[in-house]
Amino acid sequence: MNNPISLPSYLTQSEAVRSRFERLKAREVILEVKQLGKVYKTTKGDVTALRDINFRTHRREFVCVIGPSGCGKSTLIRILAGLESHTSGDVLLDGKPVTGPGRDRGMVFQGYTLFPWLTVKKNVMFGLEMNNMGASEAAREAELWLELIGLEKFANAYPHELSGGMKQRVAIARALVNQPRILLMDEPFGALDAQSRARMQAHLLEIWRNIDITVVFITHDLDEAIFLADRILVLKAHPGEVQELIEVPAPRPRSAGQFTSPEFLATKARLEALIHPPQPVAEEEEEVKPHMIRFVNVADNVE
């Protein structure tokens, strides 16, 4: 399947942005998903979660996946990680079928998945030691990654001593320490407050700029998707199907000031139209007013 990278028709692209997408198109394909489908067997019959999903991800590309609730975003990324089987189609990583978990993929979940009985450093070392790396070498590798994420001073701390954002930075380091080809992230910042989320987005982009990694990032936040991604895969629900694959025209490096730029606002408007299309309102529909009960008497009425 050809999956060309085309410039969006709803925006006039700058020469710099056009050049960026041409360079992206020239890179090797890391991940290819072809006619992917997922059907669950239930007592009430078959339920189709994903149908005919097709897309490619290029080396060092940052792809976000968004869609309405129930569109199968988490199911898709679990299939890419090899944590869940698919019913039809193919998932190819470097041309080889994905049939289960592997060290060529790193995974970061929304929940804090660190081992609470291990220090920060030991958490990062865990995957290396499981892959038969010696303790001293694993410790050196872990220290390098902790320095990269800015947590070298917390190497001997335990997870309960860290903030939510710090925990996710450790989880990212643990996922990357085995040098996977692709990093899969399932709403990793969804549980963070707005300020921590913004800091984590900046941290993630800094890490991505400094290492050779391809990222597939699940989110429900449109601003987050536009801020992070090169391209955004939009799914529609029931069943999950590819609705559109959008190139983000905002230039890199990204900054908070771009949230009000014409490119950012136009891309967000397009995403809003895809995910929350306007619903027709019946002309004869009666206005329904909720029945309100006043529990106390108040001296001043309010409108």
Copy the structure tokens of residue 95.
């041309």
224 part of a folded domain: yes
Q: Is residue 109 part of a domain?
A: no
Q: Which residues contact residue 132 at a Cβ distance below 8 angstroms, ignoring those fewer than 6 apart?
A: none
Give percent above pLDDT 70 in the chain. 87
Q: Does residue 301 have a pLDDT over 90?
A: no
Q: Which two tokens stand for residue 84?
A: 């869940």
Q: pLDDT-based confidence at 1, cuts 50/70/90?
A: very low
The answer to whether residues 158 and 119 touch, using CB atoms and an 8 Å cutoff, is yes
For the stretch 194-248, pLDDT in tens is 999 999 999 999 999 999 999 999 999 999 999 999 999 999 988 999 999 999 9
Residue 246 falls inside a structural domain: yes
- Model confidence band, residue 88 (pLDDT cutoffs 50, 70, 90): very high
Between CA 167 and CA 151 the distance in angstroms is 10
Domain assignment of residue 229, given as a range:
10-104+183-191+216-277
Q: Higher model confidence: residue 185 or residue 22?
A: 185
Average pLDDT, integer, range 10-39: 81
What's the pLDDT band for 25 if we cut at 50, 70, 90? confident
pLDDT at site 191: 86
In a domain, residue 292? The reply is no
Residue identified by tokens 């399932």 is 186
Integer CA distances (angstroms), 163 to 135, 169, 256, in order? 27, 10, 23
List the CATH number of the domain containing 271. Answer: 3.40.50.300
What distance in Å separates the CA atoms of residue 136 and residue 193, rounded to the nearest whole number? Answer: 37
Residue 3 lies in a domain: no
Give residue for tokens 């040098």.
179
Q: Is residue 206 part of a domain?
A: no
pLDDT in tens, 243-277: 999 999 888 889 888 899 988 999 999 999 999 88
Q: What's the domain count of the chain?
A: 1
- The answer to whether residue 209 is domain-embedded is no
* For the ranges 23-32, 153-162, 187-196, 282-291, the one whose mean pLDDT is highest: 153-162
Whether 200 is covered by a domain: the verdict is no
pTM of the model: 0.86
Crossing angle between the packed helical segments 164-176 and 135-148, to the nearest 10 degrees? 130
